Chain A
Amino acid sequence: MKKALAWILALTMVLALAACGGSGGSGSGGGDVVKIGVFEPQSGDNGAGGKQEILGMQYANTVTPTVDIGGKTYKVELVYADNASSNDKAPTAAQTLISSGVSVVLGSYGSGVSIAAGDTFKAAGVPAIGVTCTNPQVTSGCDVYFRICFLDPFQGTVLANYAKNELGATKAYCLSKQGDDYSGGLVNYFVEAFGKDNCVQETFPEGTSDYSTYITNAQNQGCNVFFSPVSTEAAAQIIAKANAQSLGMPILAGDTWDSNVILEAAKGSDLKICVTTFYQEGADAGFDAGIKKWINEDATAKANNGGNDELAAVTAMGYDAYFVALEALKAAGSTDPAAVLKALPGVNYTGVTGAIAFDSIGDAKRDSAFVKECNTQTGIWDFVTVATVG
């Protein structure tokens, strides 16, 4: 018994040393390398969305694998850490990236993990570029966090206006996930713009599988729009139930729903689903064709995109984020995180999702969103309008 225990202990020691040695050795292999951290959920509730966002970065990395910094050509290496969509795993995942020597970090999909990891990035002075985290708290009070997407107050208002003016809704049913900063924040700003008295707000706990009662609630309270900007996992189930129970009102959601998961779930149903999003497929034909070709050639990429080549807006955002990072590295003239942090506020870049520049808080100056509707016959998104807040 004792001997066996000694063996276990010895084994763990060896493992520890080997792991240290292994991680130490991998970084210094040939040529100049600049590391960009990818801080995204690859599992958990937002795993699917995170993977689609990573696709954009990976594709960008194949398009432009090198960058010139201070007169020298560096190879760009993406370093991944899975934050597991969980706020308590986020700080350690962030620390793993920092310890592996990244110059700048991209991510994350989902706001909670970005808020949770903000402190870790701040302590190390490593800049982070939020890709699709729309909650205002990500950048407020965290001077190393920037982001290239629009914010919840804007998106919530756009959605509320759309519900009122275009859909003619008078009473809204708002469903969000408990403890989820993304859906909670968006619902909050939607309610503010729509009018608190005309909204029914409900939340569901993590791990809920039965959404049928929420559909019944919306029907019984006489609502005429169903607003549920939740993760795609929950969305697929809500759509299935809404279809089975003949919801009878349009469903409205934010940028997370701009995903082929939704299209698949809604195909063949008689639901009306509208979303606001960052990117309209077809806005940049070159990019669309290129990334579709790449996805179709790479089996893993295709699986991560949900088995087809329908583009999600977050993929386009991930693509742009990568180039914003490269711009910042070029402007910094160094791979030192501190220099990149200094250079970031001055970065101007026009990507496939539009022009990107930062304001004083570190948020992107964006004033328009695309509204799309799901075509349940063909299973693709139909462009509706470009919405702004007047």
Chain B
Amino acid sequence: MDLWNTVLPYILSGISVGGQYALIAVGYTMVYGILRLINFAHGDVFMVAGLMMVYFAASMPLYAAIPLMILLTVLLGFTIERVAYKPLRTAPRMSVMISAIGVSYLLQNLALYVTGGLNKNYPEIPWISDKITVLGATTARVTVITPFLTVALVFALVYLINHTKIGMAMRAVSKDFETAQLMGIRINSVISATFVIGTFLAAVGSLLFFSNYPGIVPTSGAMPGLKAFVAAVFGGIGSIPGAVVGAFIIGISESLIKGLDTILITQGAIAEQMDFSTFSDAVTFVLLIVILVFKPTGLFGEKTTDKV
């Protein structure tokens, strides 16, 4: 088999994974851009969205379950900000981050309690779960539509940020928190709006992600969340296109490293297995450290200077 045909399936699945990371990464990057907070709970909100869908789909038709799930997830994101982050606005940054870790711990434990520690199977959503054949490879339709949907959503978001009043306010707040406040921007509503948008995307992301990988456990959100955050840092935190590009790069490298053994063996480069797939999670962090060391602001990040 020639190299291209061997590698293609891995790249395709990487793009699909990357698209899902991108939707989560946007939430991270927006929150960080405004609050300078790594919202560790974001990945868990994503997991909770998945669980809600499991329970709703069991008791109502899909056309009701999906909007309800998205609505409640957005409400959850909004509430978390109001309860756990807003009171700490004047506290040191470390305290807010610890609060975020606390929320993440709470959400995971709540999920453990509600599910009784059992794996939950995501409901099958007709049409997007169907089997199709693309470029000679068989896969589920959701795998193919994810990247397109992601890109479309992100374009809409970029339009929102660049061409609406709330978008302008967001940009102002992320540039300079205090000055924006002095200019009469209602900081709290801007921050809430950020969380609402971020969790909305996470809810959509969870719909795509769990349709593709249908098992949910309480820790399901942790790793995708962390990887999405790394994607945000990789692309330059605060930059939405950066987060998306970063997410695709991370998705593809993760998929490639899982298949690296097979690619090298079928190409005759190595005779024996090297077990590179052990590093499927670690490769994300290697990328992170490389970028932090050589270009700490990420691919598209702006340079900031320390204020004394």
A221 to chain B, nearest CB (A): 6
Identify which of residues 215-250 in chain A touch chain B, using a CB-to-CB cut-off of 8 Å.
216-217, 220-221, 232-234, 236-237, 240, 243-246
C-alpha gap A240/B129 in the complex (Å): 10
Q: Assess whether B139 is in contact with A244, with CB atoms less than 8 Å apart.
A: yes
B135 to chain A, nearest CB (A): 13
Closest to A236 in B: B215
Query: By the criterion of a CB under 8 Å from any partner CB, how many residues of chain B are at the interface?
Result: 44
B17-35, CB under 8 A of A: which get 1 and which 0? 1000000000000000000
Q: Assess whether A205 is in contact with B281, with CB atoms less than 8 Å apart.
A: yes
Q: Assess whether B280 is in contact with A208, with CB atoms less than 8 Å apart.
A: yes
B249 to chain A, nearest CB (A): 16
Query: Does A87 touch B at the CB level, under 8 Å?
Result: no
Identify which of residues 83-116 in chain A touch chain B, using a CB-to-CB cut-off of 8 Å.
84
| Residue of B209, B214, B262, B275 touching A237 (CB-CB under 8 A) | B214
Query: Does A48 touch B at the CB level, under 8 Å?
Result: yes
| Residue of B6, B212, B220, B278 touching A178 (CB-CB under 8 A) | B278
Query: Does A7 touch B at the CB level, under 8 Å?
Result: no
Identify which of residues 44-97 in chain A touch chain B, using a CB-to-CB cut-off of 8 Å.
44-45, 47-48, 51, 82, 84
| Residue of A42, A51, A202 touching B261 (CB-CB under 8 A) | A202
Q: Assess whether A204 is in contact with B280, with CB atoms less than 8 Å apart.
A: yes
Q: Assess whether A244 is in contact with B215, with CB atoms less than 8 Å apart.
A: no
Closest to B119 in A: A233
Q: Could you say which of B110-118, B162-170, B193-201 contacts chain A?
A: B110-118
A285 to chain B, nearest CB (A): 29
**A232-B259 contact given A205-B280, A220-B6, CB 8 Å threshold:** no
B230 to chain A, nearest CB (A): 15
Closest to A306 in B: B118
Query: Does A212 touch B at the CB level, under 8 Å?
Result: yes
B79-119, CB under 8 A of A: which get 1 and which 0? 00000000000000000000000000000000010001111
Query: Does B72 touch A at the CB level, under 8 Å?
Result: no
C-alpha gap A187/B117 in the complex (Å): 27
**A209-B139 contact given A43-B117, A232-B119, A236-B121, CB 8 Å threshold:** no
Query: Does B241 touch A at the CB level, under 8 Å?
Result: no
Best-surrounded residue of A204, A213, A232, A243 (most CB of chain B within 10 A) = A213
Q: Assess whether A203 is in contact with B275, with CB atoms less than 8 Å apart.
A: yes
Query: Does A193 touch B at the CB level, under 8 Å?
Result: no
Query: Does A387 touch B at the CB level, under 8 Å?
Result: no
C-alpha gap A233/B255 in the complex (Å): 21
Across the interface, which residues of A come within 8 angstroms of B275, CB to CB? Answer: 201-203
Q: Assess whether B116 is in contact with A42, with CB atoms less than 8 Å apart.
A: yes
C-alpha gap A48/B215 in the complex (Å): 13
Q: Assess whether B13 is in contact with A207, with CB atoms less than 8 Å apart.
A: no
A390 to chain B, nearest CB (A): 31
Query: Does B189 touch A at the CB level, under 8 Å?
Result: no
B256-278, CB under 8 A of A: which get 1 and which 0? 00110111011000000101011
Query: Does A343 touch B at the CB level, under 8 Å?
Result: no
Query: Does A214 touch B at the CB level, under 8 Å?
Result: yes
Q: Assess whether B280 is in contact with A245, with CB atoms less than 8 Å apart.
A: no
C-alpha gap A384/B234 in the complex (Å): 53
Query: Does A142 touch B at the CB level, under 8 Å?
Result: no
Closest to A261 in B: B119
**A210-B223 contact given A47-B118, A202-B261, A217-B262, CB 8 Å threshold:** no
| Residue of B215, B259, B266 touching A209 (CB-CB under 8 A) | B215
Across the interface, which residues of A come within 8 angstroms of B152, CB to CB? Answer: none
| Residue of B131, B224, B273 touching A201 (CB-CB under 8 A) | B273
Q: Assess whether A217 is in contact with B139, with CB atoms less than 8 Å apart.
A: no
Best-surrounded residue of B116, B119, B222 (most CB of chain A within 10 A) = B119
Query: Does B10 touch A at the CB level, under 8 Å?
Result: yes
| Residue of A84, A213, A303 touching B13 (CB-CB under 8 A) | A213
| Residue of B212, B223, B224, B255 touching A213 (CB-CB under 8 A) | B255
B202 to chain A, nearest CB (A): 15
| Residue of B9, B116, B255 touching A43 (CB-CB under 8 A) | B116
Q: Assess whether B219 is in contact with A220, with CB atoms less than 8 Å apart.
A: no
| Residue of B138, B263, B273 touching A200 (CB-CB under 8 A) | B273
C-alpha gap A340/B114 in the complex (Å): 38
Identify which of residues 106-149 in chain B touch chain A, using a CB-to-CB cut-off of 8 Å.
112, 116-119, 121, 131, 137-140, 143
Q: Assess whether A209 is in contact with B255, with CB atoms less than 8 Å apart.
A: no
Across the interface, which residues of B come within 8 angstroms of A217, CB to CB? Answer: 258-259, 261-262
Across the interface, which residues of A come within 8 angstroms of B219, CB to CB? Answer: 207
C-alpha gap A261/B273 in the complex (Å): 32
Q: Assess whether B117 is in contact with A44, with CB atoms less than 8 Å apart.
A: yes
Closest to A85 in B: B117
Closest to A41 in B: B117
B109 to chain A, nearest CB (A): 10
C-alpha gap A44/B117 in the complex (Å): 6
C-alpha gap A7/B262 in the complex (Å): 61
Across the interface, which residues of B come within 8 angstroms of A264, CB to CB? Answer: 121
Across the interface, which residues of B come within 8 angstroms of A200, CB to CB? Answer: 262, 273
Query: Does B1 touch A at the CB level, under 8 Å?
Result: yes
Beyond known contacts A51-B118, A213-B259: 15 more, CB 8 A cutoff? A43-B117, A178-B278, A202-B275, A209-B213, A210-B13, A210-B17, A216-B10, A221-B262, A221-B266, A234-B215, A240-B214, A244-B139, A244-B143, A245-B139, A303-B116
Binding site for A on B (CB under 8 A): 1, 6, 9-10, 13, 17, 112, 116-119, 121, 131, 137-140, 143, 209, 212-215, 217, 219-220, 222-224, 254-255, 258-259, 261-263, 265-266, 273, 275, 277-278, 280-281
25 contacts between A and B (CB under 8 A): A41-B117, A43-B112, A43-B117, A47-B117, A47-B118, A84-B117, A200-B262, A200-B273, A202-B275, A205-B280, A207-B222, A209-B209, A209-B223, A210-B17, A210-B213, A212-B13, A216-B262, A217-B261, A220-B1, A220-B259, A221-B262, A221-B265, A234-B215, A236-B121, A244-B139
